[in-house]
């Protein structure tokens, strides 16, 4: 249940807590879990019910605090009382917590949390100077950036409630995250958008900008030229390098590394060997499809945004670019345009000669048809296999009927739909539409009075989502447009390992969604073994941003 709560599946954690009949337990760990779930629910609630739910969560933490006398439940009581509008009660508990924190000896294991809780109590009291001092000590004691990010998110709520600028939280700030991109370098003596003779100048400018921006994490590809210069500069500064290749490694080297000439493959291998992670947007072949390069860029950009959100850090793009606007579906111009349109203005390191250059590619249609980037959902209903024959008509009418009604609302944004038994396969135009549709499908099933329909109340929908390149072509069996390819199979392997009542999505889906507004977010669940021995995949839990919470 704690893992469900950490993954953002608050509703499912509540259901499991009730199913195990833990509400009356006085065990400290159980009470702490109940309080955690109640706090998550309260912070996700609308204005009309938020104060009452915050007070309830505070009551649960206070029960634990009065029993254990610990500063951690105590500071949660103070913060939740403040957020619930009970300032007098909040300040009373905050004073008690300050005394606890200042009297308790700090060990290496708890020095960070002791100082952070002292800072939180000081902020509840409106004592900005004391909070700054405690936060400075917390920063000196704790190097766990995830813990610091969690603290910043909770303290930001306190600052807002007390009218204190959240600049006070600066001591706990994480290093910034970048998506890096740029032109491939031309071989010596060959004209191009990034001439070889500018390498040293561009490398120096890249390094200076990384230092100026305080960069600690970089996400991007590893082509010859700008990408490798970024990678080398990040590694030289002790920053984390996260390489995202758009397709299979050897083919990428052949297309995007070796054409620059001698030495670049060795530099590629050196960087990738020292990278903190290597991700393949797809491990399939390029096949001459420019959208596959764009796919890699979407994944790299999205992972940068997701990492920055997790660390509560700034995120930006830095591009080595000649400034020439392009309209193609791949390349530095595409990356800059995408970031500028969706996130904000990038930083640019200038390169090139100012001459006009042809857009990449030869204009010929790749053999076998172009792959397109689509969002896909696979779902099934847990408990369907146990239905009796007499229950099947009710299932079709009420369950499939409700799911069909949801899909009908999306019109031509649903590109394909199919069902077999309780199985569901849907292809949609983009990740935002797919996220909205997936959560609406879940809500639709939850609103059905299953028992009144003669169906088990335990029926629950599992949905898996993925975003990737697929072939769109006429299905010779069904006589309609259908979608084919390895990424369809990947989507099908997610749903069986998704908890009932939830939506799990792949890292590629989460990354693409992170670039778009729309009120949706994805919480990292972990490396999850996919169905049918498909290997492990990094999975995310899809939720509404309205369900956001302090960790």
Report pLDDT digits (tens) over 60-82.
999 999 988 899 999 999 999 99
pLDDT in the model for residue 17: 59
- Measured between alpha carbons, how far is 16 from 31 in angstroms, rounded to an integer? 14
pLDDT interval class at 531 (50, 70, 90): confident
* pLDDT at residue 361 greater than cutoff 70: no
Distances (CA, A) of 438 to 148, 316, 318, 441, 524: 32, 30, 34, 5, 18
- Measured between alpha carbons, how far is 284 from 266 in angstroms, rounded to an integer? 23
Q: Which of 251-265, 364-378, 476-490 has the lowest mean pLDDT?
A: 364-378
pLDDT interval class at 363 (50, 70, 90): very low
Distances (CA, A) of 451 to 133, 381, 391, 454, 521: 58, 15, 11, 5, 32
pLDDT in the model for residue 15: 61
CATH class of segment(s) 176-350: alpha beta
- Measured between alpha carbons, how far is 89 from 82 in angstroms, rounded to an integer? 8
Q: Taking CA 64 as the corner, what is the angle to CA 58 and CA 65, rounded to the nearest 5 degrees?
A: 80
Look at phi and psi of residue 69 and say left if phi exceeds 0, alpha if psi is from -120 to 50, else beta.
left
* pLDDT at residue 2 greater than cutoff 60: no
Q: Which of 179-188, 267-276, 542-551 has the lowest mean pLDDT?
A: 542-551
Q: Which of 251-255, 275-279, 457-461, 520-524 has the lowest mean pLDDT?
A: 520-524
pLDDT interval class at 434 (50, 70, 90): very high
Across the chain, what does the average pLDDT equal?
90
Q: Which of 15-19, 312-316, 400-404, 455-459 has the lowest mean pLDDT?
A: 15-19
pLDDT for 107-120, tens place per residue? 888 899 999 999 99
CATH assignment, 371-547? 3.30.70.1230
pLDDT in the model for residue 551: 38
Q: Which residues, listed in sequence order, are joined to residue 504 by a DSSP beta bridge?
A: 464, 541
What values do phi and psi take at 526, rounded to 5? 135, -175
Residue 439 near residue 544, CB atoms below 8 Å: yes
| 484 Cβ contact partners less than 8 Å away, ≥ 6 residues apart | 470, 471, 473
What percentage of the chain has pLDDT greater than the value 90? Answer: 72
pLDDT in the model for residue 6: 55
pLDDT interval class at 549 (50, 70, 90): very low
pLDDT for 121-140, tens place per residue? 999 999 999 999 999 999 99
The kind and range of the H/E element at 154 are helix 145-162
* pLDDT at residue 364 greater than cutoff 80: no
* pLDDT at residue 294 greater than cutoff 90: yes
Q: Report H helices in 214-288.
A: 226-236, 249-256, 264-274
Q: Give this prediction's pTM.
A: 0.89
CATH assignment, 2-172? 1.25.40.10
pLDDT interval class at 550 (50, 70, 90): very low
pLDDT in the model for residue 360: 46
Kindly list the domain boundaries of the chain, sorted by start residue: 2-172, 176-350, 371-547
211-222 average pLDDT score: 98
pLDDT interval class at 366 (50, 70, 90): very low
Higher pLDDT, 252 or 35: 252
pLDDT in the model for residue 365: 46
């Amino acid at each position: 249940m704690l893992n469900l709560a950490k993954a953002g599946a608050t509703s499912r954690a509540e259901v499991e807590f009730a199913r195990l009949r833990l509400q009356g337990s006085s065990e400290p760990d159980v009470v702490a879990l109940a309080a955690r779930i109640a706090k998550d629910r309260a912070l996700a609630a609308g204005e009309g019910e938020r104060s009452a739910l915050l007070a309830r969560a505070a009551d649960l933490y206070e029960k634990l605090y009065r029993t254990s006398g610990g500063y951690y439940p105590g500071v949660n009581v103070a913060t939740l009382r403040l957020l619930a509008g009970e300032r007098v009660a909040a300040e009373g508990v905050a004073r008690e917590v300050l005394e606890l924190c200042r009297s308790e000896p700090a060990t290496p294991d708890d020095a960070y949390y002791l100082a952070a809780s002292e800072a939180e109590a000081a902020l509840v009291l409106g004592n900005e100077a004391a909070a700054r001092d405690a936060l400075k000590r917390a920063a000196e004691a704790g190097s766990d950036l995830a813990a610091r990010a969690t603290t910043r998110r909770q303290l930001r709520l306190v600052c807002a409630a007390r009218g204190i600028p959240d600049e006070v939280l600066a001591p706990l700030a994480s290093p910034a995250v970048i998506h890096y991109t740029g032109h491939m370098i031309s071989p010596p003596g060959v004209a191009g958008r990034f001439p070889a003779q500018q390498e040293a100048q561009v490398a120096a400018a890249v390094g200076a900008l990384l230092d100026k921006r305080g960069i600690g994490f970089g996400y991007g590809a590893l082509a010859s030229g700008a990408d490798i210069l970024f990678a080398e500069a990040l590694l030289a500064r002790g920053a984390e390098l996260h390489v995202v290749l758009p397709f299979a490694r050897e083919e990428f080297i052949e297309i995007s590394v070796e054409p620059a000439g001698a030495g670049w493959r060795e530099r590629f291998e050196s960087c990738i060997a020292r990278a903190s992670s290597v991700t393949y947007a797809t491990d399939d072949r390029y096949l001459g499809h420019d959208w596959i390069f764009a796919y890699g860029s979407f994944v790299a950009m999205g992972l940068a945004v997701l990492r920055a959100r997790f660390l509560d850090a700034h995120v930006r793009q830095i591009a080595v670019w000649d400034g020439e606007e392009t309209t193609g579906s791949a390349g530095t111009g595409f990356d800059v345009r995408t970031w500028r349109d969706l996130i904000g203005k990038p930083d640019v390191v200038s390169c090139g000669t100012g001459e006009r250059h042809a857009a990449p590619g030869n204009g010929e249609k790749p053999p076998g048809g172009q792959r397109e980037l689509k969002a896909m959902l696979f779902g099934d209903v847990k408990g369907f296999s146990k239905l009796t024959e007499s229950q099947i008509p009710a299932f079709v009418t009420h369950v499939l009927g409700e799911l069909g009604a949801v899909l009908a609302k999306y019109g031509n944004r649903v590109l394909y739909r199919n069902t077999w038994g309780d199985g569901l396969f849907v292809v949609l135009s983009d990740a935002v539409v797919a996220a909205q549709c997936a959560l609406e499908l879940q809500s639709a099933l939850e609103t059905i009075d299953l028992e009144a329909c003669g169906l088990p109340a335990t029926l629950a929908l599992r949905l898996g989502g993925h975003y990737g390149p697929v072939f769109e072509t006429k299905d010779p069996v069904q006589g309609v447009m259908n979608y084919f390819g390895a990424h369809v199979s990947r989507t099908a392997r997610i749903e069986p390992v998704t908890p009932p009542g939830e939506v799990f999505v792949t890292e590629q889906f989460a990354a693409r969604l992170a670039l778009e507004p729309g009120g949706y977010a994805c919480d990292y669940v972990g490396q999850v073994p996919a169905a049918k021995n498909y290997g492990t995949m990094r999975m995310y839990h899809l939720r509404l941003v309205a369900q956001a919470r302090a960790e």
